[in-house]
Amino acid sequence: MKTRFRLILMLLMISSIGFAQEIQVSGTVTGNEDNMPLPGVSVIISGTARGTSTDFDGNYTLKANQGDVLEFSFVGFKSASVTVGSSSTIDVVLETDVAALDEVVVVGYGTQKKADLTGSIATVKAEEIEKTPAANVMQSMQGKVAGVQIVSAGTPGDSPTVRIRGLGTFGSGTNVLYVVDGMFYDNIDFLNSKDIESINVLKDASSSAIYGVRAANGVVLITTKTGRKNSKPVFEYDGYSGVQFAQNVVQMANAEQFVTMAYESGSEADVQFVLNAMERFGRSRVNPNLPNVNTDWYDEIMREGLISNHSISASGGGENVAYSVGANYLSQEGILDMKNEYERFNIRTKVDVDLSDRFKIGSNLVFSNATKYLPENSAWFKAYFAVPILPVYDFQNTDATPTPYANARAIGYRGSQNPFPDLRYNNNRQKIRKVQTNFYVQTEIIPEKLTFKTVYNANLAAIEQRNVSLPFNIGYGDQRISSISRSDNTYFNQIWDNTLTYEDNFGDHNITLLGGASFRDEAYNSLSGSGGDIRGIQLESSWYLDFSDPDPETRTVSENGRRYYGMSYFARAAYNYKGKYLLYGTIRADGSSKFTQDPWGYFPSVGAGWVISEEGFMQDNGIFDFLKLRAAWGKLGNDNVAPSSGANTTSEVIIAAGNEPLSGVTATSTFTNNTWEVVEEKNFGLNMITLNNRLSIDADYYIRDTHDAIMPVYIPIANVTLQRNSGQIRNQGVEIVLNWNESVNENFSYSIGANFTTLKNETISIEDSRGYIDSGSAEFRQRTMEGEPILAFFGYERIGVYQNQAQIDADPTAQAAIDAGQNIQPGDLIYRDQNGDGQITDEDRVVLGSFLPKFTYGGNIGVNYKNWGFSASFYGQSGNKILNRKRGEIIFTNDTNMDADLAKNRWHGEGTSNEYPSSAGLRKSWNQKLSDFWIEDGDFFRIQNIQLSYTIKGTKLLNGKFPETRLTLTADRPFTFFKYNGFDPEVPNGVDRQTYPIPAVYTVGINVKI
Amino acid sequence: MKRIEKLINKTIWAILLSLGMVSCSDKINEQEGQLNADDLDYTNTEDMIDPLVGAYQIFGTRGWEEPLLLSVRGDDVNSGGLGDQQPFWDTDQFIYNKDYWMYNSLFALHYSDIVKLNTAMELVNLYRSYADPSYYDEADQYLAEIKVMRAWLHFNLARNWGDVFIINTTEPDTEYINGTVSKDAMMEYVVAQMNEAIPHLLEARPNERTDIYGGITKYAAMALQAMAYQELENYQEVANVTGEIINSNKFMLYPDFYNLFKTDGEVSDENLWEIQFSDFGNATGDTFYHLYAPFGPTSYTPARANAEGGWGFYEPSMKYIKFMLDRGETVRLQTSVLFTPDGIAEIQSDPNYANLPSFVSNSTPDGDVINNSVRADFFSGKHYMPSNQIVVGRNNYGAGKNYIIVRYAEILLMYAEALTHGASGNSLTADQAVNLVRARAGLGSVSGVTTQMVMDEKLAELAMEWGVRYFDMIRLNWYDELSYDGRNFTADKELLPYPQAQVDALPLNN
């Protein structure tokens, strides 16, 4: 190898002696917008392989002959060609390529030119992601990509829910596939936003089919930052700090409103509780008919949370090596007032080495060490229910230790209600350690044509969970001894990919072929144990199972594990003629041990495109700078589903026989035996750039069908719900993205972007003995039926409230109910008799809406003036419904508190409300049926992010050595507008019971590059 | 030339590397982390008892709502006051709701357990098929025990819904397409099943068993058979079977009625069949419990600190309490009912009951003090475990309390009732049988017992137990008894409507 290298050098030297006209050319390459030097620009002598690239200051030097043409190219800029004349200095200004059509897009196992794409791929750049101060990368994508719905998670460290083009599968397997530098993930909570180079969302089946397996919910390709060869090291610090506040806090009924409701309920017991409260806590001096307590529980359980993030990184490269290394620390407090926080420390290195011009080798490593203290989400729910006439502390509650928390049982209620014991006496910690590594070797078998690459990826995640229940007593039987439960969960996933890529052109015919094989191994193991009555529980240092009661029967231990294997073969062909006519096809064969019926699935895709603007008749048309029509079809498999067992399985059980445990075995009588869930998608798209490269329009229409959808089918008599291939689900919609960019002059530029998405989710067919699939609980039913969205809310349609007795007497459905023993009074809800049989029965239930939004939209505005930058983005959705289950659970315990909206707007006399029942009505089964009274619109509009920045650059300070510095002020999700009676309309599955509210975040940031 | 050779070498190397992965592809036919039923070692005959123990576990894991719904319609017990579970209250008023989850749960859980028991029988049969013939008797006994459990579930289904399915295999879809059988046909089925089971079962009291202490024996099967005959109003067979149980001299009434339902009475000589629950005396660790909270008082001051109360979903009726007071009952009233101060005041508000015996108190004999409750004035004493009998460290209401299914007193009274319907007895006289029960309750003898007298005795003795009262009343068409406290019972109210979720899935019509 070395010998050959020397030989080439010698040849080069000889050739330089041979041609005397050769001169040394040097110069600086700068960008047209900011006149800043561009490092890493490729400078090549046209028609040769000779060239160089610019250094950190944009300078280059090379030897060339007069008459040679130098080609300057750089990602994001239009290429420029300059003929070498007599001058030895050639400075070049590169124009920003607004359309960035030469931009290369990462597709599965390779790259493609954006202009050549036939499928639907959206790209989000690093600077867009960095604007959002969030622990999770995907949070930053919210509202930025058409067709991608992101539902925020409020809990620090939790990942948002991401859906690409609707929801086509049941159960938990709805995660999109994340491919980070080639490795597959369900969850990318270990990634720091700052380490990301680009994110590509493969939306349609044709684009993602190369990933076949698991691609059915869409693919998000993430490339982490790489160093650039021949560039000076760049050291960068980036950090921000800020505060998070709860937004749109639900207004609860205060003591006065609550007491009014209690008196109006007609329940003696409820009145008695109020009297008990007055007896115990005294009477209010303002209104002596109220207890001297008015607790706002949400106010009590929340706090402000701090967030901060600090990253340092260095990247650069020499002649043969490129590197990028960094470290990052993030800490985020939750807004729930307990030990609730997230802390993450990351280290990252990425190195690529050219062993020779044929052999490349590289490795990538991310180590992430996070600690997460999980919230007790039950507190959100309890704070809703806890009565305002109960204080936080009750010093008369002398049994309570160690803190005299008030217990609602003291004034007669059934439960203790007070959320504080949950908050103070629980400590739920997760230590999350993840290591992601990959290693590749790449060799060119035929130079620049045939490449072989083998990549091994390994991903180790260890999650140590420790839940400590501290002992407490709040009197009235609400007492607990200490206990600890521990679990060690280890995930180890490996992927080994081998690919052969062949690229060539024959005249105007350009062709790329790829073939490969991939082996996957996903293993999971969980070992857990628990013990009680911990000695020394007051000290965190003794929170180990060793200190629990040593009686072996009081300690439990359990283990479960799974391991899945997958094997895939795939191929891709991309062809274009003069960049005008595009053809694209992939095929992938996947085997997965999750499917016992037939582990193999075959997933083809094809695509075609026509770049009309390249046609002769379109040249210099003055309207379209670029115009492409494209169509694609593809199939892909989803193995992100519950695995089939393929056989009856057994469980160990115990019974009691004379107070002695006896162990035995039970077996299942039904089992799953599934084949692949297959997504088939058609996508039609248009890309257009017009008005002098200022306006770009991308539009897509898609129909996405899930065949053999694995659904929870009910098996009657055996009374089990089996995950079985049993239906077809369709998602279809239109996505439109508009972008306007303009540089008015050197100092001033602006951009405006908007995206719109429609979604129609529909169940096409179901194979179930009942013809429908029920989800949710009996009281809060969600039903999937043919012709309706999946998991739709299902209940009665409320058409008003009975205002007076005459109205009841005149209504046959009310009379039928009275005849059946119901007690219908003014203030009760009126339901629509859908089937017109004169009575309200189960058959009158209809679909009341879906939690999937029908329309989502996002937008952004960016303005740059000299060193100032301002950006704002917004996001909204409409057409989705939320089941307000916090409110709805009044059907289980109806003597507790409720939100102020319900208390204020209740029916309390003729004409007072035609929407809400009376206080007494809330306690009747008639009004407690699931109806659209409990289901609310989830429409919202939000100012997603506002950022103001100032960049200090090229200043004379410190003799011009003052580093490039950028200061930012960011308000993330500062304002949300909605009508829903809850904290936040972002509820992942549409059922709001104890959703962690999404805080607004205000931060100050600084970025320094040296 | 050399170049091409090199190229070929490299290509072959690359292809080999790819092919090397093919060997990995065998792995995709493996399911790790699960133990398939087919993979149990059926040649190990010692393990044959494991699926039987599994069957007891299946049978013992009854939902909390099951006993409640089975019995709430009787005039001995009410649903507790208004509040949550409104349709449960409606059911107590004979206002039925086919959409109510409890109906579906009772129906579905009974059938799913039938299928699970069938699976357990399949497993026992697999062990049997590999076993030495000397183990066949043992295998047949296990199968017979499971048959008894399965028949009891079928029996309950037919009692509540009338026409229902018989499921004898693990493939219910092949059976339910044949449609339902009538209630009578189901009772015939139960009789036939018990005839199959009885010869293989142990002739022992449950507490005489050593392999599974307290498990099912011949007498549980006979009791169930007698109950099926009783539903068929074949009183001669009722008398024959119950007479045989009496003549076995295996059983006797537990002398202390109060403690029969507490720790001391567990697996006593009176109990023919009971489900055992326990925490094995440990404060932490594994438990096998029934959820008794629905029966418990919503508020009480336990003698042992920190014992938890319940939900108040099961309230002895005022009718029952006054009936007992009228009879001059003592221990049976004190055992069956937990009184709240409000409840006592409520009884006394009727001038005829202004003076109550001293045992009518909101303090139980074990010193637990029952407080007033929003939901109910009274709670069931038979489902109450004194707080001082609960293992320290366990606080659940009724933690580890057993659940009696059939006891000897019921056998005696079934026998007596059959004789009053004209059956000839092979054992005691009806008077003797009734007086045995009365004597234990501290009551004097009676003679010339009539059906009315037996039914009164049954109400006094068996109130709150498994809906015995309700099913007696609808069997005898004594609808007036059920039309109490403003209720109006008619023949069309006897059965529950099929749950809508089942109608949607099965060949059923309401």
- Contacts of residue B35 in chain A, CB cutoff 8 Å? 649-650
Is B360 within 8 Å of B346 (Cβ atoms)? no
pLDDT-derived band of residue B28, with 50, 70 and 90 as boundaries?
low
The mean-pLDDT minimum among A14-23, A323-332, B124-133, B328-337 falls in A14-23
For residue B151, the one-letter residue type is: A
CA distance A545 to chain B (A): 13
Residue recorded with tokens 């620009």: A41
Using a pLDDT cut of 90, give the percent of chain A over it.
Answer: 48
Higher pLDDT, A820 or B363: B363
User: What ipTM was predicted for this assembly?
Assistant: 0.85
The answer to whether residue A177 sits within a structural domain is yes
The CATH number covering residue A79 comes to: 2.60.40.10
Distance CA A230, CA A62 (A): 14
Q: How far is it, in rounded angstroms, from Cα B384 to Cα B363?
A: 13
Q: How far apart are CA B192 and CA B229, in angstroms?
A: 11
Cβ distance of B56 and A655 shorter than 8 Å: yes
Mean pLDDT, residues B258-281 taken together: 93
Q: According to the model, what pLDDT value does residue A217 have?
A: 83
The percent of residues in chain B predicted with pLDDT above 90, rounded, is 73
Is there a domain that residue B469 lies in? Answer: no
Residue A945 CB partners (closer than 8 Å, separation 6+): A131, A132, A871, A872, A873, A970, A971, A972, A973
pLDDT band at B130 (very low <50, low <70, confident <90, very high): very high
Two structure tokens written together for B353: 């009951």
Asked if B65 and B171 sit in the same domain, the reply is yes
Which chain A residues contact residue B286 at CB under 8 A?
553, 556, 654, 661
The Cα–Cα gap between B260 and A642 comes to 48
What is the rounded distance in angstroms from the CA atom of residue A479 to the CA atom of residue A19?
Answer: 94
Q: Tell me the mean pLDDT in the region B83-102.
A: 84
Q: For chain A, how many residues are written?
A: 1010
Write down the pLDDT at residue A620.
77
- Residue B416 Cα distances to B187, B257, B458, angstroms: 21, 20, 10
The pLDDT of A669-675, averaged and rounded, is 78
Q: Is pLDDT above 60 for B36? A: yes
**C-alpha separations of A892 from A385, A887, B68, B295, B341 in Å:** 11, 11, 17, 17, 26
Retrieve residue A812's tokens. 């046959």
State phi, psi for A432 to the nearest 5 degrees: -115, 115
Supply the DSSP string of B230-289, one letter for each residue: HHTT-HHHHHHHHHHHHHTT-----S-HHHHTSGGGTT-TTEEEEE--B-TT-SSS--B-
- The confidence score (pLDDT) of residue A1001 equals 94
**Measured between beta carbons, which residues in chain B are less than 8 angstroms from residue A593?**
27-31
Whole-number pLDDT of residue A696: 93
- With a CB-CB cutoff of 8 Å, which residues 405-464 of chain B face chain A? none
Residue A232 pLDDT exceeds 50: yes
Q: What is the pLDDT of residue A124?
A: 87
Number of domains in chain B: 2
- Report, as an integer, the average pLDDT of A645-655: 81
Domain boundary among A94, A129, A151: A94
In a domain, A64, yes or no: yes
Residues B66 and B169 both lie in one domain: yes
A141 and A175: one domain?
Answer: yes
Nearest Cα neighbor of A108 from A729, A586, A544, A686 is A586
pLDDT at residue B14, rounded to an integer: 59
Judge if A136 and A211 occupy the same domain. Answer: yes
Lowest mean pLDDT of A47-51, A106-110, B217-221, name the range: A47-51
pLDDT greater than 80 at residue B388: yes
Assess whether A210 and A166 both reside in one domain: yes
- The minimum CA-CA distance between A393 and chain B, rounded to whole Å, is 20
Q: Which among B111, B309, B395 is the nearest to A479, CB-wise?
A: B395
Strands B77-78 and A940-952: unpaired
Looking at B381, B401, B421, the residue that finishes a domain is B401
pLDDT digit string, tens, across residues B419-439: 999 999 999 999 999 999 999
Instruction: Tell me the nearest-neighbour CA distance from B440 into chain A, angstroms.
Output: 25
For residue A20, pLDDT over 60 is answered with no
Within 8 A by CB and 6+ apart from B12, the residues are: none
- The answer to whether residue B84 neighbours chain A at the CB level (below 8 Å) is yes
Task: Nearest chain B residue to A780 by CA: give it.
Answer: B101
Look up the CATH number of the domain holding residue B175.
Answer: 1.25.40.890
Q: For residue A563, list chain B residues with Cβ-Cβ distance below 8 A.
A: 30, 32-33
**pLDDT of B327 higher than 90:** yes
B30/A533 touch (CB, cutoff 8 Å), yes or no = no
Residue B326, judged by CB atoms within 10 A of its CB (0-12, 13-18, 19+), counts as exposed
Contact A434, A459 (CB under 8 A): yes
How far does chain B reach from its first CA to its final CA, in angstroms?
87
Is B145 a member of any domain?
yes
> For residue A290, is it within any domain?
yes
Cα torsion A620, A626, A629, A634: sign: positive
Q: What is the mean pLDDT of residues A262-273?
A: 87
- Position B331 scores a pLDDT of 94
Instruction: Tokens for A699, please give them.
Output: 């539009």
Q: Which of B22, B25, B280 sits opposite A660 (nearest CB)?
A: B280
Residue in A with minimal Cα distance to B115: A718
Q: Is residue A214 part of a domain?
A: yes
Q: Which value, in Å, is the radius of gyration of the alpha carbons in chain B? A: 27
Phi, psi of B168 (to 5 degrees): -115, 0
State chain A's mean pLDDT as an integer: 87
**Residue contact A659–B176, C-beta within 8 A:** no
Whether residue A190 is found in the same domain as residue A116: yes
> Given a cut of 90, is residue A159 above it in pLDDT?
no
Tell me what the mean pLDDT of segment A675-691 comes to: 91
Instruction: Write down which residue in A51, A76, A94 finishes a domain.
Output: A94
Whether residue B410 lies inside any domain: the answer is no
**Would residue B240 count as lying in a domain?**
no
Please report, for chain B, how many H helices and E strands are present, in that order.
20, 8
Name the DSSP class of A339: S
User: Phi and psi (nearest 5°) for B281?
Assistant: 75, 10
Q: Do A445 and B14 touch (CB under 8 A)?
A: yes
Q: Say how many CB pairs under 8 Å bridge A and B.
A: 283
> At which residue do the structure tokens 């019972």 appear?
B489
pLDDT for the residue numbered A399: 87
A109 with A223, same domain?
A: yes
**Are the Cβ atoms of B120 and A667 closer than 8 angstroms?**
yes
- Does A477 sit within 8 Å of B309, measured CB to CB? yes
Of the two residues A878 and A141, the one the predictor is more confident about is A878
What are the DSSP calls for A104-156, one per residue?
EEEETTEEEEGGG--S-EEEEEHHHHHTS--SSGGGGGTTTSTTEEEE---ST
Would an 8 Å CB–CB cutoff place B282 in contact with chain A? Answer: yes
Distance from the B379 Cα atom to the nearest Cα atom in chain A, whole angstroms? 16
B280 at interface of A, judged by CB pairs closer than 8 A: yes
Q: Is residue B426 part of a domain?
A: no
Q: Give the confidence band of A817 by pLDDT, cuts at 50, 70, 90.
A: confident
Assess if residue B313 is contained within a domain. Answer: yes
Q: Which residue has the tokens 């044709």?
A: A206
Q: Is A191 found in the same domain as A108?
A: yes
User: What is the DSSP secondary-structure string of A696-718?
Assistant: EEEEEEEEEEEES-EEEEEETTT
Structural domain contains residue A191: yes
What is the per-residue pLDDT for B84?
A: 66
- Residue B190, phi then psi, degrees to nearest 5: -60, -45
Res B30 pLDDT > 70: no
Which range among A140-154, A749-763, B103-117, B402-416 shows the weakest confidence by mean pLDDT? A140-154
pLDDT band at B9 (very low <50, low <70, confident <90, very high): low
Give the structural domain span for A32: 2-94
Q: Which of B381, B404, B376 is nearest to B466 (CA)?
A: B404
Chain A partners within 8 Å of B215 (Cβ): 657
Confirm if B170 and B184 have CB atoms less than 8 A apart.
Answer: no
Comparing alpha-carbon positions, the chain B residue that sits nearest to A597 is: B29
Which comes out higher in pLDDT, residue A93 or A807? A807
Q: Where does residue A642 rank: exposed (0-12), middle (13-18), buried (19+ CB within 10 A)?
A: middle
Among the partner-chain residues A477, A565, A779, the one whose CB lies closest to the CB of B395 is A477
Q: Is A642 a residue whose pLDDT tops 80?
A: no
pLDDT digits (tens, 9 = 90+) for B484-507: 998 999 999 999 999 988 888 888
Q: Of A792-796, A801-805, A815-819, where does mean pLDDT reach its minimum? A: A815-819
Asked if A695 and A689 count as a contact pair (C-beta separation under 8 A), the reply is yes
Token digits of residue B228 = 């099926």
Residue A19's pLDDT is 44
Min mean pLDDT across A121-135, A960-974, B41-55 is at A121-135
- A345-349, A649-653, A898-902, B282-286: the lowest-pLDDT one: B282-286
Q: Same domain for A41 and A71?
A: yes
Contact assignment for A665 to B50 by CB distance below 8 Å: yes
Which one of A519, A650, A659 has the shortest CB-CB distance to B21?
A519
Q: State the average pLDDT over residues B410-417.
A: 96
pLDDT > 70 in chain A, percent:
95
Q: Where are the alpha helices (DSSP H) in A179-307?
A: 205-208, 255-264, 268-281, 297-301
Do A109 and A224 lie in one domain? The reply is yes
- The answer to the question of residue A473 being in a domain is no
Dump the DSSP string for A562-586.
Answer: EEEEEEEEEEEEEEEETTTEEEEEE
Burial of A552 (0-12, 13-18, 19+ CB in 10 A): exposed
As a whole number of angstroms, the distance between CA B289 and CA B68 comes to 16
Output the pLDDT for position A157. 84
DSSP A898-922: -BHHHHHSSB-STTS-SSS-BTTGG
Record: contact A842-B500, CB cut-off 8 A: yes
pLDDT reading at A261 higher than 50: yes
pLDDT tens, residue by residue, A462-509: 999 999 999 999 988 788 889 999 999 999 999 999 999 999 989 889
Region class of A126: left (phi > 0), else alpha (psi between -120 and 50), else beta: alpha
Tokens (6 digits) for A711: 């659904």
Q: How far apart are CA A804 and CA B188, in angstroms?
A: 55
Q: Which of A221, A204, A210 is nearest to A166 (CA)?
A: A204
Give the structural domain span for B370: 293-401
Domain end call among B371, B401, B431: B401
Give the pLDDT confidence of A704-746 residue by residue, as tens digits.
Answer: 999 988 888 888 888 888 888 888 999 999 999 999 998 888 8
Q: Sort residue B170 into left (φ over 0), alpha (ψ -120 to 50) or beta.
A: alpha
- Whether residue A892 lies inside any domain: the answer is no
Residue B2 lies in a domain: no
Record the tokens describing residue A966, joined without a space.
């950028």
- Looking only at the bridges linking them, the beta strands covering B315-316 and B77-78 are antiparallel
Q: What is the pLDDT of residue B19?
A: 52
* pLDDT tens-digit map of A500-555: 999 998 988 999 999 999 888 889 999 999 998 899 888 888 899 989 888 776 78
Residues of B in contact with A777 (CB under 8 A): 101
Query: Residue A375 above 50 pLDDT?
Result: yes
Residue B315 lies in a domain: yes
Contact B57 A654 (CB under 8 A): yes
Work out how many domains chain A is built from and give that number. Answer: 3
User: Of B49, B161, B374, which to mutate for an interface test with A (greatest number of A Cβ within 10 Å)?
Assistant: B374
CB A934 within 8 A of CB A883: yes
Nearest Cα to A476, choosing from A402, A419, A411, A387? A411
Among B10, B36, B93, whose Cβ lies nearest the Cβ of A649? B36
**Which pLDDT belongs to residue B5?**
61
Shortest distance, CA B477 to any CA of chain A (angstroms): 22
Q: Which of B401, B434, B462 is at the close of a domain?
A: B401
Weakest mean pLDDT among A70-84, A352-366, A601-615, A680-694: A70-84
User: What CATH number is associated with residue A161?
Assistant: 2.170.130.10
